[in-house]
Structures are given as structure tokens and as C-alpha cells.
Amino acid sequence: MKINLENWSNRLLFVLISTDLLFIALHIIYKTTELISDSSFSLSRDRGYPEVFQYVKAYWIALLFLILAIKKQTFLYLAWSLLFVYLLLDDSMEIHETGGDSISKQLAFPSLFNLRPEDLGELVISILASLFFLFLIAIAYRFSDSIARQASRYMIGMLFMLAFFGIIIDMLHIMSRSLSIENVRDVLVMSI
């Protein structure tokens, strides 16, 4: 497969994906060898190098959408910019974690499917934020031109992929992390 790097956007995409792959490789080296001892290379460390790189990407995406919104006078690009500002703030300030913990205490969420009450609260906050931004984007989409609509269709597909991995897979990971062979056996025995 030949990669066309003549277009500046293809070059930028190539650099961003290459950097993500480099961080994944460095994480694997950190976890499996003694070659890297700095935990800042871990993908699971808050404020580690990979996470800070994600902050930088979210910042630039938000800024580029804001520039497009101003240049093209299109509210749809502004809605996308606001979404990425929220994602940056959520990731860096742990909005859904803090809000999830608060809402789980106020509504007395139970533990369910090996998810802690805080996990369920985080899910509620993520769903509410998602619905808000999808509603905002849907309204702006209705009144936008065909170019902004086409770009938004691609973005919506990418957004659903992000939600799938960032929310659904994360919840499944949490659920499976606390499952042991004994727990699975007990659940199976009780259901028979």
C-alpha cells in the first residue's frame, strides 16, 4: 500500500498516527522490559506523555474547527469546536470522573455487573454530554451547507468509534477486570 504524502493533511495525519503508534510501542517496552523505567510512558498514567499528546491533539482540533467556523461563518464547525473543547477539558480535568462520583452518591447507584457506583455515574455523565453535543451538532447540521455536512458525517463516524472504544470498551474492561474464574463459575452455577 502506497501512502500519498504530497498533501499536507496526509502528512499531518501520518505524523499523528505514527506518534500514537510510537507511544503504544513505548508503553509495551515500559510494561514488558526494564529498558524504560519512567512511568510517564505508560498509556494508563494520568498526565503521562501519551495523555499530554492527546491533550495537544484535542486542542488543535478545537482550534482548527474554531478557525473554520469563523472563516466559513458556519455554526456547525463551532459546534464541533465546542465538542473538542469539552473533550479536552473532560480529559484533563476529569469532569466525567468527578461528576460521575458526585451523581453516583446523590442518586445512590448500586454496584452492577462488577461496575462500581462511580463507574455508572461516569457513564451517565458521558451519555448526557454526548446527547447534548449530538443535539447541538444535529441542529447546526440542519442549517449548514453541503461541505460542512459532508465533513460532519465523517466526524460523526469517528465520534462513534471514539465513544465505542472510550466508553463501551472501557466499561467492558472494568467489568472483566474484576471478574475471576471463581466468580464466573459461581454465576454459572447459580444460573443452572
pTM (global) more than 0.85: no
Are 61 and 115 members of one domain? yes
Q: Which residues contact 123 (CB under 8 A, 6 or more apart)?
A: 100, 115, 167, 171
Dump pLDDT digits (tens) for 13-38.
899 999 999 999 999 999 999 999 99
Which stretches of 21-113 are assigned E, i.e. beta strand?
Answer: none
Q: What residue numbers bound the domain in which 130 lies?
A: 52-180
| 117 and 161 housed in the same domain | yes
Rounded CA-CA distance 70/66 in Å is 6
Task: Give pLDDT tens digits for 46-77.
Answer: 999 999 999 999 999 999 999 999 999 999 99
Shared domain for 61 and 131, answered yes or no, is yes
Q: Is residue 164 located within the same domain as residue 115?
A: yes
Q: What is the pLDDT of residue 180?
A: 55
Based on the number of CB atoms within 10 Å of its own CB, is 167 exposed (0-12), middle (13-18) or buried (19 or more)?
A: middle
